[in-house]
Amino acid sequence: MKHFPIFVSIRNKPCVVIGGGPVASRKIGNLLEAGAQITVVSPQITEEIKQYLAAESITYLPREYTESDLEGAFLVFAATDNREVNSAVAALATSRDQLVNVADEPDECTFVLPSVLDRSPVLVAVSTGGASPVLARQLRIQLETLIPSACGRLAGITEEYREKVKRFFPKQVQRKKFWENALHGPVSELVYAGQEGSARTRLDEMLEQGLDKDPMGEVYLVGAGPGDPDLLTFKAVRLMQRADVMVYDRLVSQPILDMANPDAERLYVGKQKDDHAVPQHKINDLLVDLAKQGKRVLRLKGGDPFIFGRGGEEIETLTDNGVPFQVVPAVTAASGCSSYAGIPLTHRDYAQSVTFATGHLKDGTVNLDWPHLTQLNQTLVFYMGLSGIAEISKQLQAHGMSPDMPAALIEKGTTRHQRVHIATLATLPEKVVESGVRAPTLTIIGEVVKLHDKLHWYEPERHVKDSDFSLHQS
Cα separation of 307 and 303, whole Å? 8
Q: Is 43 annotated as a binding residue?
A: yes
Q: Is 446 annotated as a binding residue?
A: no
Q: Is 307 annotated as a binding residue?
A: yes
Q: Is 21 annotated as a binding residue?
A: no
Cα separation of 173 and 189, whole Å? 24
CA 453 to chain centroid, in Å, comes to 32
Q: Is 304 annotated as a binding residue?
A: yes
Q: Is 170 annotated as a binding residue?
A: no
Cα separation of 127 and 7, whole Å? 13
Amino acid at 129: G
Amino acid at 193: A
Cis peptide before 121 (omega within 30 of 0): yes
**Would you say 278 and 286 are in contact if contact means Cβ atoms under 8 Å apart?**
yes
C-alpha distances (whole Å) from 6 to each of 118, 139, 140, 323 are 15, 19, 17, 42
Q: Is 98 annotated as a binding residue?
A: no
Q: Is 20 annotated as a binding residue?
A: no
Q: Is 44 annotated as a binding residue?
A: yes
Cα separation of 148 and 265, whole Å? 25
Q: Is 406 annotated as a binding residue?
A: no
Determine whether 271 is an active site residue: yes
Cα separation of 43 and 18, whole Å? 10
Q: Which strands sit side by side in the sheet containing 296-301, from one edge to the other?
A: 265-268, 245-248, 296-301, 218-223, 325-328
Amino acid at 36: A
Element (H, E) at 294: none
Q: Is 226 annotated as a binding residue?
A: yes
Q: Is 440 annotated as a binding residue?
A: no
Q: Is 303 annotated as a binding residue?
A: yes
C-alpha distances (whole Å) from 421 to each of 6, 320, 441 are 60, 44, 10
Determine whether 275 is an active site residue: no
Closest CA to 307 of 243, 273, 355: 355
- Among candidate residues 13, 50, 244, 271, the one labeled active-site is 271
- Among candidate residues 27, 69, 235, 249, the one labeled active-site is 249
Can you tell me whether residue 169 is helix, strand or coil? coil
**Binding-site annotation, residues for S-adenosyl-L-methionine:** 226, 302-304, 307, 332-333, 384, 413
**Active site members:** 249, 271
**Binding-site annotation, residues:** 22-23, 43-44, 226, 302-304, 307, 332-333, 384, 413
**Binding-site annotation, residues for NAD(+):** 22-23, 43-44
